[in-house]
Chain A
Amino acid sequence: MPAPPLTARGLHKRYGETTALDGFDLEVEAGAVHALLGPNGAGKSTAVGVFATLTRCDAGEVRVAGHDVRRDAVAVRAAIGLVGQGTALDEVLHGRENLVMFGRLHGMARQAARERADELLEAFGLADAADRKVSTYSGGMRRRLDIAAGLIRRPALLFLDEPTTGLDPRARNEVWQAVREIVAAGTTVLLTTQYLDEADQLADRVTVIDHGRVVAEGSPGGLKRRMGGDRVLVTAPLGVDVEALASSLGGVAEPGLRQVVVEAGPEGGAAAVTAVVRALDTEGVVVDDILLRRPTLDEVFLSLTGTGPTTEAGVPVPGASRPAELHPATEGGRS
């Protein structure tokens, strides 16, 4: 059996007074997207730096594709692709020239590096821009080229450190699409993100990190299940007694919102909606809206770390600390 792409045990790293990693463990399985989810300063980038041999940890052991990051750094570097925060590309060189240079530095012959570069430019939709300076690229194009550069030598493990931070929604979708294609082609990806919907969209497995420690781990679905089941939200029109409606539907009234919240049973949200519709039909009540509400990773995150999700600038999203039911942004958060 081949060595797992990455195992980390008991990582500790201090920067002066600040503890960046505090007994951090991680195991990444082959062929999957593993998301490292946490707020700013949680230790995500420090962890990636240690995994990619850029940062020495104070204690702990990391093996990447079976190689120890300290004793066998060169073998680790040959097995990984690193796409760091911000785009680490040569702005003056053309897109193709960047890829060829990184390929040649990986030991590829000139011709092989060119062929691989063209292949990646095509795959990432950059063929038309291949012979332009990177400084003329849009944010999304740069990020895709950055990811392509990380893939030049078909790494066993690709690190993507906050790949969509600072991108507009369209560019973010382009990057997500690129990540899905990478995984479909068989590369294991370790992704760090502070965006919950990003982990939800891309990851097979999520490790939630805060203050340098693992606070939760599991599949996105599993983490959400920890937060309880689905809910059906029924909005009653004016003139309907919300309390009475709540008792007939077996839910809880929110009179201020003219809303009834029905917790779904173990059979799930769809069954709960069916039951609510049947009950409404029997009662002969016409309602304004019926909404099936699944717990989002935002809620999981909030309950695990005590911090709300943050915007790109690191300031809390307005209203993020309000109850999730009152927060329409989490509802539309998936795009």
Chain B
Amino acid sequence: MTAVAATLRQSWIITLRDLKHWQREPWTPVFSVLFSVMLVLMFGYLLGGAITIPGGGDYLPYLLPGIFALSMMFGIEATMTAVANDTKKGVTDRFRALPISGAAVPLGRAGADLLNSAVELTVLLVGGVLIGWRATGGVGGTLLAVALLLWFRFAMLVIGVFLGLTIRGEGGVTAVQVLVWPAGFLSNAFVAPESMPAWLGLVAEWSPLSATAAACRQLFGNPTGASGGFVADNAVLLAVLWPAVLVAVFTPLTARAYRRLAR
């Protein structure tokens, strides 16, 4: 067996282990979906009536791609918690003492988390259709949007592994769980950045979350809430590049954090 095949085999064994967790304790992924559903109900039906989209269009079709992207971003918590638990309980050390590739453990984790997110995304897409959301951008555009969402999730996954390896103690986990909120709101997920003060709107417009959400709105054929500008004109490109930048920055940091376990 070649080294690559061996690594993939080992990764798959670890992916199956992680998937079994969700099978045995389904409440974590189920709550994660319910949480996104709750956000749709809260913002779509409770607050949405008061929100207008610049350039016109209904709020619900504007909101849903934002929620899709947001649910991918919140995946960072699931990844981080799982990695931190394994590290704390010594499972990571046990893996490290096995004659397996160092890449197998994070790759296995990535496989499981991406599968989990794909299922979650499917549920959200179907749920969206049930409440009247439509993707009118054609099959190609829809598939590309889904691919961009999972690509964004992959970047969050790499950051999640990094945080899980470096954060020690419950305080760090709580801090991340709190901080994802301002990061989520400081974007175009819920409201158009044009409605914010100019400088804040600029930050929100340029967030990686906004790039993916804006690209999805365009590809799904939903209202974009943007009246032009570089970001709006290059949303798909940015949705490809932003996660690529995050992956490029955090992959070496993660590898370094993994090596530092040997200190």
Contacts and interface: CB of A to CB of B under 8 A. Distances in A.
B20 A88 contact: no
A88 B98 contact: no
7 contacts: A52-B97, A77-B97, A86-B89, A92-B24, A102-B98, A133-B24, A149-B94
Interface residue SS majority, chain A: loop
Interface string B78-118: 00000000000111011111111000100000000000000
A88 B89 CA distance: 6
Given A54-B261, A102-B98, 11 more contacts: A15-B263, A55-B262, A56-B262, A84-B93, A85-B90, A88-B94, A90-B17, A91-B89, A92-B24, A101-B17, A105-B10
Nearest to A56: B262
Contacts of A104: 13
Given A88-B91, A92-B20, A97-B20, A106 B263 contact: no
A229 to B, nearest CB: 43
A77 B99 contact: yes
A87 B89 CA distance: 7
Interface string A223-249: 000000000000000000000000000
A78, A85, A92, A97, most chain B CB atoms within 10 A: A92
Contacts of A105: 10, 13-14, 95, 98, 100, 104
Given A93-B20, A105-B95, A105-B98, A86 B262 contact: no
Interface of B: 6, 10, 13-14, 17, 20-21, 24-25, 89-91, 93-100, 104, 261-263
B25 A92 contact: yes
A141 interface: no
Nearest to B262: A56
A88 B94 CA distance: 7
A107 interface: yes
Given A87-B90, A101-B17, A105-B10, A77 B24 contact: no
A101 B10 CA distance: 10
A34 B29 CA distance: 46
A304 to B, nearest CB: 30
Interface in A67-124: 74-75, 77-78, 80, 82, 84-93, 97, 101-102, 104-107
Nearest to B90: A88
A83 to B, nearest CB: 9
B147 to A, nearest CB: 31
A330 interface: no
Nearest to A55: B262
Nearest to A98: B17
A104 B89 CA distance: 21
A53 interface: yes
B94 A107 contact: no
B15 to A, nearest CB: 11
Interface of A: 15, 52-56, 74-75, 77-78, 80, 82, 84-93, 97, 101-102, 104-107, 133, 149
Contact of B99 (A15, A85, A86, A107): A107
A133 B20 CA distance: 11
Nearest to A82: B97
A136 B90 CA distance: 18
B13, B21, B97, B104, most chain A CB atoms within 10 A: B97
A133 B21 CA distance: 11
B115 to A, nearest CB: 17
B91 A89 contact: yes
A158 B262 CA distance: 20
A54 B91 contact: no
Contacts of B96: 53-54
Contacts of B97: 52-54, 77, 80, 82
Ranked 5 nearest A-B pairs via Cβ? A88-B90, A78-B99, A88-B94, A77-B99, A82-B97
A54 B24 CA distance: 30
Nearest to A113: B13
B122 to A, nearest CB: 24
Nearest to A97: B20
A81 to B, nearest CB: 8
A29 B1 CA distance: 34
B99 A93 contact: no
Contacts of B25: 92
Contacts of A77: 97-100
A82 B95 CA distance: 10
B3 to A, nearest CB: 11
A54 B17 contact: no
Nearest to A79: B99
Contacts of A92: 20-21, 24-25
Nearest to B105: A105
Contacts of A149: 94
A44 B95 CA distance: 21
Contacts of A52: 97
A87 B10 CA distance: 22
Contact of A93 (B17, B94, B98, B263): B17
B95, B98, B263, most chain A CB atoms within 10 A: B98
A93 B6 CA distance: 23
Contacts of B89: 86-88, 91
A56, A82, A101, A105, most chain B CB atoms within 10 A: A105
